[in-house]
Structure formats: structure tokens, C-alpha cells
């Protein structure tokens, strides 16, 4: 008996003539995700990706866990492969599903017959297989509305599949299907969630972190890299750009009005991030900003920030409250790392009374007190690049 994995596609099925391009990209992403698990054959037909292990070392359970983090898949099933013969289907169902069926009290059978030449239709398969299972498992009774176990039989072009256990997929679109962006990754809760959410729409990411040594410790930098590493489970390989930001912040503190510190600092961050993004063929920036969460995230302040760059700035968590963001961070396993007590460069230089309703021309006036071009170029030239 051969155990395989079936992955159901999500909104890819709604694509038109270019659907095959999305499917090929998803298969490529699946291959990368499963590269450490073992050798397998991967094919896509009729809105289902079939993964058949090709060696004895392939661990089905580990593979399912990894596939749950691949965007583009909505549901995953472990299944037994069998010939398109009803007696063989009955035999495999009794063997493969023995444990869940022997422990349950209620069940039902679902059948999907893609191969219309198969001699039994779907209702006949359900009735006949259900009867066979009732004879074998005396503990069972049929419950079509709320069964403890649902036995699924799929009749496809080459084989039939029997399964009962389904796992939720990540949904969304395959990474790389909708371009590339640069994520401004701090050490907080919000930015990893923002990165996850835009990656779910098929956007590949690189990350930019602003590092203010010695005001922030080496451990703060390691924390950010740990967050980025966790994100690669969903986002795939990423470059992380560590930007030395201490000199710029010291110049801002020395030359600018205190109430403008954060606004001027954010504009410099955006300008540097834009340069890095364009060098990586990224067409937008992503931040974890949420309206009104802090002084620099009022509508007026966000407008001042956006004015600093010419490429789009995406804010996937802009309308979410903190608890909603926290719940997603726990789901993607970044929360515990995000709350480690290491300050980022923003909190170190926060003014006592930040401007919440800034006027652009006054912020730009403060910004221009610095040797802007040389400071930005120096920061970009001294960026540290780490590939995760």
C-alpha cells in the first residue's frame, strides 16, 4: 500500500489562460519546501497536486507540516493510492483507515468520480463502500451530517485515492506570483505579521533592518534575524539587509527639533529602504504600521512618511487592532521572539512629545538640516547582507 499526499488548490483555479503558470510556480515552491524531506514525484491535475514519495526515507508527516506553510494550498490530505477497481478500493479502505474507523462511532463516505468511465457513479460508490465498512466495523453507524470520520474516495484518470484526514493549508497565492517587495523588519510584533500577510498574496520579500549599535545590542540584531528565519517557513529564502543607522540618528538628534525626531528618522529610513528595494528589483515597501498605534502612525504622519519615496508603501495591518495582530503572530510562531526585551532603533531615540499632526514642509525643513545625500549613500554602502 502506497501512502501519498493530495493538495487542493485555492484561488489558482479561478485563473484563466495563465493558470498553468501559477500551478508550475506552486510546484516549484513545493519542491523547495520538501527538498529536505526526501525524493518525491509531484504532478498537478484537476485542481489537485499529487505528491508520491519515491524513497523509503520520505516522512509523510513532516511533509504535511511543511506543506501547511506553502501559500497556494488550501487543504492537504494523506491518502492511500490504489488501482481503479472497486474491490481493491474496499480492501485498501479497510486496511488504511483501520485505526480511525475502529475508534469512531459515526462515519460517512464521500466519493468524487473524475473518471466518468468508472462503472460506478459517486452515490453508488458511497452506498457500496459504506455497506462494506459497516459489515467490518460493528462499532460504526452512519451520520451524514456530523460524522466523526469522513471517508473520501477519489476516482481519477490513473488511480483511485482513499483518505479520511484533512489538514488546513495556508491559502493565498504562490510566493513569487505577484512580484517582490522590501519589508522594513523591526524587532516588534507588527512587521513580521505584515510580511506574512503580503507574502500570502504571492509577493516575495527581502527584509531591511535598521541597526543602531551601540544603542541597540548585538542580541537585538540576532532577534531580528531569528524573526526573519521563522518567516522563511512561509516566505522562502530571503535576503536581510542590516543598515547601520547610528550616525544618521545622532545627526538628527544633534540638528533637528526633538518633536520631529521620529518623523525625520522615518523619512530617512524610507529613502534608504527605497534605494535597497530598487537594487533588488522590488517594486514596493512593506511596513507594519497600524493607524493610531503610535504617534508616527497618525494619518498626517503616515502622509509625511510616504512623501519621502516614489514607490508604493504597503501596510497590510493598517486597519487591525493590536490583539488581531498578536493572534496572527502567534499563529505564524513569531510572537514569542517578538516580545523578547531587546530595543530597536526607533524606541531608543523616541522624543518625549512627538508631533502627531505634522506639516510636511516643516518636517522637510528639519530633514534638510543634515547632509542628506552623503548620509544616505554611506548607510547604503555599508549595509550587511545576510541570506536566510
Give the pLDDT score at 346: 56
The answer to whether the CB of 243 falls within 8 A of the CB of 211 is: yes
Give the pLDDT score at 100: 97
Give the pLDDT score at 289: 94
Give the pLDDT score at 89: 97
Q: In whole angstroms, what is the distance from residue 306 CA to residue 311 CA?
A: 9
Q: Evaluate if residue 350 carries a pLDDT over 80.
A: no
CA nearest 339: which of 186, 183, 210?
A: 186
The CATH number that domain 2-168 falls under is 3.30.2130.30
Give the pLDDT score at 276: 98
Mean pLDDT of 229-238: 95
Q: Evaluate if residue 304 carries a pLDDT over 60.
A: yes
Mean pLDDT of 63-83: 97
pLDDT-based confidence at 290, cuts 50/70/90?
very high
What one-character-per-residue DSSP string does 40-109 give?
EEEEEETTEEEEEE-STT--HHHHHHHHTTSTTEEEEEEEEEE-S-HHHHHHHHHHHTHHHHHH-SEEEE
Q: Evaluate if residue 296 carries a pLDDT over 80.
A: no
What is the per-residue pLDDT across 374-384, written as a single tens digit (0 to 9) for each? 999 999 999 99
Give the pLDDT score at 175: 97
The answer to whether the CB of 205 falls within 8 A of the CB of 183 is: yes
Q: In whole angstroms, what is the distance from residue 334 CA to residue 198 CA?
A: 16
What one-character-per-residue DSSP string does 238-282 give?
-EEEEEE-HHHHHHHHHHS-GGGHHHHHHHHHHHHHHHHHHHTT-
Mean pLDDT of 182-186: 96
Give the pLDDT score at 343: 63
Mean pLDDT of 262-268: 95
Could you tell me which CATH class the domain 180-387 is placed in?
alpha beta
Q: Evaluate if residue 236 carries a pLDDT over 90.
A: yes
Q: Evaluate if residue 341 carries a pLDDT over 60.
A: yes
The answer to whether the CB of 107 falls within 8 A of the CB of 143 is: yes
Give the pLDDT score at 183: 98
Give the pLDDT score at 349: 65
Q: Evaluate if residue 17 carries a pLDDT over 80.
A: yes
Q: Evaluate if residue 345 carries a pLDDT over 60.
A: no
Instruction: Report the mean per-residue pLDDT for the chain.
Output: 94
What one-character-per-residue DSSP string does 296-326 give?
GGSHHHHHHHHTT-SS-EE-TTTT--HHHHH
Give the pLDDT score at 224: 96
Give the pLDDT score at 157: 86
Give the pLDDT score at 1: 85
Give the pLDDT score at 348: 56
pTM for the structure as a whole: 0.91
What is the per-residue pLDDT across 35-64, written as a single tens digit (0 to 9) for each? 999 999 999 988 899 999 998 899 999 999
Give the pLDDT score at 22: 96
Sequence spans of domains, the chain = 2-168, 180-387
Mean pLDDT of 86-107: 97
Amino acid at each position: 500500500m502506497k501512502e501519498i499526499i493530495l493538495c487542493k488548490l485555492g484561488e489558482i483555479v479561478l485563473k484563466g489562460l495563465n493558470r498553468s503558470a501559477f500551478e508550475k510556480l506552486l510546484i516549484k515552491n513545493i519542491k523547495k519546501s520538501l527538498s529536505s524531506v526526501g525524493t518525491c514525484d509531484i504532478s498537478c491535475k484537476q485542481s489537485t497536486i499529487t505528491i508520491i514519495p519515491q524513497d523509503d526515507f520520505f516522512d509523510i508527516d513532516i511533509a504535511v507540516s511543511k506543506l501547511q506553510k506553502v501559500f497556494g494550498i488550501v487543504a492537504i490530505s494523506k491518502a492511500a493510492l490504489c488501482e481503479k477497481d472497486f474491490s481493491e478500493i474496499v480492501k485498501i479502505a479497510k486496511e488504511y483507515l483501520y485505526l480511525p474507523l475502529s475508534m469512531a462511532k459515526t462515519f460517512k463516505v464521500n466519493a468524487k468520480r473524475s473518471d466518468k468511465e468508472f462503472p460506478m457513479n459517486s452515490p453508488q460508490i458511497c452506498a457500496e463502500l459504506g455497506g462494506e465498512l459497516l459489515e467490518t466495523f460493528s462499532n460504526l453507524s452512519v451520520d451524514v451530517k456530523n460524522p466523526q470520520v469522513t471517508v473520501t474516495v477519489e476516482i481519477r484518470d490513473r488511480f483511485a485515492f482513499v483518505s479520511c484526514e484533512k489538514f488546513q493549508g495556508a491559502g493565498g497565492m504562490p510566493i513569487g506570483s505577484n512580484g517582490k517587495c522590501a519589508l522594513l523588519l523591526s524587532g516588534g510584533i507588527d512587521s513580521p505579521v505584515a510580511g506574512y500577510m503580503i507574502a500570502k498574496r504571492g509577493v516575495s520579500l527581502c527584509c531591511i533592518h535598521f541597526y543602531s549599535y551601540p544603542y541597540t545590542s548585538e542580541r537585538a540584531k540576532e532577534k531580528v534575524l531569528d524573526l526573519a528565519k521563522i518567516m522563511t517557513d512561509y516566505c522562502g529564502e530571503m535576503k536581510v539587509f542590516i543598515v547601520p543607522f547610528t550616525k544618521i540618528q545622532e545627526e538628527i538628534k544633534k540638528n533637528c527639533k526633538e518633536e520631529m525626531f521620529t518623523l525625520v528618522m522615518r523619512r530617512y529610513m524610507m529613502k534608504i529602504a527605497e534605494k535597497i528595494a530598487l537594487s533588488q528589483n522590488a517594486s514596493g515597501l512593506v511596513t507594519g504600521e497600524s493607524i493610531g498605534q503610535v504617534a508616527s502612525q497618525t494619518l498626517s504622519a503616515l502622509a509625511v512618511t510616504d512623501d519621502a519615496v516614489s514607490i508604493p508603501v504597503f501596510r497590510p495591518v493598517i486597519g487591525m487592532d493590536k490583539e488581531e495582530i498578536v493572534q496572527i503572530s502567534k499563529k505564524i510562531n513569531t510572537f514569542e521572539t517578538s516580545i523578547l526585551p531587546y530595543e530597536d532603533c526607533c524606541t531608543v531615540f523616541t522624543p518625549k512629545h512627538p508631533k502627531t499632526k505634522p506639516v510636511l514642509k516643516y518636517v522637510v525643513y528639519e530633514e534638510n538640516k543634515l547632509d542628506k545625500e552623503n548620509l544616505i549613500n554611506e548607510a547604503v554602502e555599508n549595509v550587511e547582507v545576510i541570506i536566510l
